[in-house]
């Protein structure tokens, strides 16, 4: 049974950066689309970023971002290390949320998220 584990969350001031990581224990996710969602207090979980399976060992496949993070966040992967990253720059207080790594059911992000990690808290202070 594959389990996703996130790390890298924390407290940062507005304008700062954090890098989230996701690893898969008990398997690999190199043949699936992967993504990040987030959930702020009192709000529904929302899509943040994703990439399709394919490309080279460190990416090259199509990536997708929600409008509010375009130009600030970058999703990437390292298949050899079984890692998915979310580099978050120019953070804003509205980015405060629990961030979840997800493995999609298929090879593109047009399929449904299937596996979820436990989440990592990101808090951005004004």
Q: What span, in angstroms and rounded, lies between the C-alpha atoms of 7 and 103? A: 16
Q: What pLDDT digit, counting tens, does each position of 21-55 carry?
A: 999 887 776 688 999 999 999 999 999 999 988 76
Per DSSP, the three-state class of 27 is: coil
Q: What pLDDT digit, counting tens, does each position of 101-111 carry?
A: 999 999 888 89
Q: What pLDDT digit, counting tens, does each position of 80-97 carry?
A: 788 999 999 999 999 999
Residue 74 class from Cβ within 10 Å (0-12 exposed, 13-18 middle, 19+ buried)?
middle
């Amino acid at each position: 049974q594959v389990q996703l584990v996130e790390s890298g969350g924390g407290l940062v001031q507005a304008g700062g950066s954090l890098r989230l990581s996701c690893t898969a224990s008990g398997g690999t996710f190199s043949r699936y689309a992967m993504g990040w969602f987030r959930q702020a207090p009192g709000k529904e979980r929302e899509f943040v970023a994703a990439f399709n399976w394919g490309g080279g060992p460190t990416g090259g496949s199509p990536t997708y971002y929600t409008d509010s993070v375009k130009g600030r966040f970058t999703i990437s992967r390292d298949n050899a290390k079984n890692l998915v990253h979310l580099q978050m720059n120019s953070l804003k207080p509205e980015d405060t949320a629990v961030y979840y790594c997800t493995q999609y059911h298929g090879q593109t992000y047009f399929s449904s998220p299937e596996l979820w990690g436990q989440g990592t808290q990101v808090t951005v202070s004004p």
